[in-house]
């Protein structure tokens, strides 16, 4: 548990702004991803207004792309919502991992911060916390940057679609993967970490190959978590 | 499965439901944890789970992804180990995927 006093989980306008600025380079990449989504949505026959509304309200890159495949003149609503939930269920785990720090905030602020939680800002804030550095600025301010650039990117894609007609050709689909990978490499590791990661990797691959689609993140993460509870280490570092 | 015509109203209702489902996943984890006592075992679980989320996203990407994806991740790893600057490593990874697909 954090004993380092309240600076670790302080949050105000200035701290959020710093997080916003820190996230800008990644947010820039995310806007390219957003433009690709805007274009793909237009090609799937979704109206401009609907596409923008979706990016503003739903704000979840991978899952929005997955939904496009299901979209047509008929909307399989239940399938769409179940797919969305399966891909986004990782947010549940992210929220849980953030709880030891978020619990120091007033309840309303806690949930306000989580409105903008996504892969990149969650991963960066967890990394900060694990290094005993404050992480709520990057979580909240950085999250707002990601949301804003996702929406602006979508808008660009919808209205100037041909800017990025083939995002894969520029490697844009690999931005988030490379980013998360860089963060993993930048983490302090010991033998116990590697054991947990091996379990998580094996479980996620098995789920990817043998379980229903989109279940691999949840399965891998929970398997890794369970491996962590059985590890020899008694000093839970949080 | 339950299907609806893609009328304006139906689409807007669906987007609203999508927003609610996603919102529930964003807020739900924090809410559930606020009901669970933070015992050491629970702390170890969520601590181990945080890294595992990343690994569980990355492992299938690396092993089941296309060759360009693998090449991009390899470039990220090499640059990260050599220069230890995440932004440079990410840029090299993305560039590697782009070059791989161009040739």
B48 and A95: CB-CB below 8 Å?
A: no
Distance between CA B57 and CA A207 in Å, rounded? 12
Q: Which domain holds residue B83?
A: 53-103
Structure tokens at A47: 């109206």
Residues of chain A with Cβ-Cβ distance to B6 below 8 Å are: 71-75
pLDDT at A7 over 80: no
- Residue A230 burial (CB count, 10 A): 13
pLDDT tens digits for B12-31?
Answer: 999 999 999 999 999 999 99
Domain count, chain B: 1
Confidence band, pLDDT 50/70/90 cuts, at residue A237: very low
pLDDT at B89 over 90: yes
Q: Is residue B67 part of a domain?
A: yes
Structure tokens at A49: 């207004």
B64 and A234: CB-CB below 8 Å?
A: no
> From B102, which residue of chain A is nearest by alpha-carbon distance?
A169
Q: What are phi and psi of B67, to 5 degrees?
A: -60, -35
Distance between CA A129 and CA A182 in Å, rounded? 17
Distance between CA A37 and CA A55 in Å, rounded? 9
pLDDT at B57 over 80: yes
pLDDT at A1 over 50: no
Q: Is residue B84 part of a domain?
A: yes
Q: Is residue B48 part of a domain?
A: no
Confidence band, pLDDT 50/70/90 cuts, at residue A2: very low
Distance from first CA to last CA of chain B, Å, rounded? 43
Confidence band, pLDDT 50/70/90 cuts, at residue A82: very high
One-character DSSP codes across chain B: ---EE--HHHHHHHHHHHHHHHHHHHHHHHHHHHHS---HHHHHHHHHHHHHHHHHHHHHHHHHS-HHHHHHHHHHHHHHHHH--HHHHHHHHHHHHHHHHH-
Residues of chain B with Cβ-Cβ distance to A90 below 8 Å are: 25, 53, 57
What per-residue confidence (pLDDT) applies to A194? Answer: 94
Residues of chain B with Cβ-Cβ distance to A234 below 8 Å are: 40
Do residues A87 and A63 lie in contact, with contact meaning Cβ atoms separated by under 8 Å?
yes
B18 and A175: CB-CB below 8 Å?
A: no
Q: What is the CA radius of gyration of chain A?
A: 19
Closest approach of B8 to chain A, Cα-based (Å): 9
Q: Is residue B45 part of a domain?
A: no
Q: Is residue B98 part of a domain?
A: yes
pLDDT tens digits for A22-59?
Answer: 999 999 989 988 998 999 899 888 999 999 999 999 99
Do residues B57 and A165 lie in contact, with contact meaning Cβ atoms separated by under 8 Å?
no
Distance between CA B29 and CA A95 in Å, rounded? 4
Q: Is residue B66 part of a domain?
A: yes
Q: Which range is least confidently modeled, A6-15, A142-151, B62-71?
A: A6-15
- Residue A176 burial (CB count, 10 A): 22
pLDDT tens digits for A153-203?
Answer: 999 999 887 666 677 788 888 888 998 999 899 888 888 999 999 999 999
Q: Is residue B62 part of a domain?
A: yes
Q: Is residue B88 part of a domain?
A: yes
């Amino acid at each position: 548990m954090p004993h380092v006093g309240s600076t670790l989980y302080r949050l105000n306008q200035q701290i959020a702004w710093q997080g916003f600025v820190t996230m800008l380079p990644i947010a820039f990449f995310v806007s390219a991803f957003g433009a690709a989504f805007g274009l793909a949505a237009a090609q799937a026959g979704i109206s401009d207004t609907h596409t923008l509304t979706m990016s503003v309200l739903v704000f979840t890159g991978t899952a929005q792309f997955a939904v496009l495949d299901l979209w047509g003149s008929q909307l399989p609503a239940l399938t769409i919502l179940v797919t969305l939930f399966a891909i986004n269920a990782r947010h549940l785990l992210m929220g849980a991992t953030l709880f030891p720090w978020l619990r120091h905030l007033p309840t309303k602020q806690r949930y306000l911060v989580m409105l903008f939680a996504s892969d990149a800002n969650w991963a960066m804030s967890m990394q900060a916390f694990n290094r005993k550095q404050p992480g709520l600025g990057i979580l909240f301010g950085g999250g707002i940057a990601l949301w804003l650039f996702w929406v602006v990117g979508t808008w660009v894609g919808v209205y100037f679609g041909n800017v990025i007609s083939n995002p894969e050709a520029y490697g844009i689909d690999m931005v988030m993967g490379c980013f998360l990978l860089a963060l993993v490499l930048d983490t302090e590791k010991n033998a116990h970490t590697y054991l947990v990661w091996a379990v998580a990797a094996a479980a996620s691959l098995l789920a990817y190959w043998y379980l229903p689609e989109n279940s691999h993140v949840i399965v891998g993460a929970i398997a890794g978590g369970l491996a962590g509870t059985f590890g020899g280490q008694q000093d839970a570092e949080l | 499965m339950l299907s609806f015509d893609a009328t304006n109203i139906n689409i807007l209702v669906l987007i609203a439901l999508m927003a609610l489902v996603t919102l529930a996943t964003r807020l739900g984890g924090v809410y559930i944890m606020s009901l669970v006592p933070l015992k050491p075992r629970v702390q170890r679980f969520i601590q181990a789970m945080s890294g595992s989320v990343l690994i569980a996203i990355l492992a299938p990407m690396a092993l089941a992804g296309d060759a360009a994806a693998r090449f991009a991740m390899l470039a990220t790893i090499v640059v990260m180990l050599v220069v230890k600057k995440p932004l440079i490593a990410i840029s090299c990874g993305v560039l590697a995927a782009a070059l791989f697909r161009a040739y």
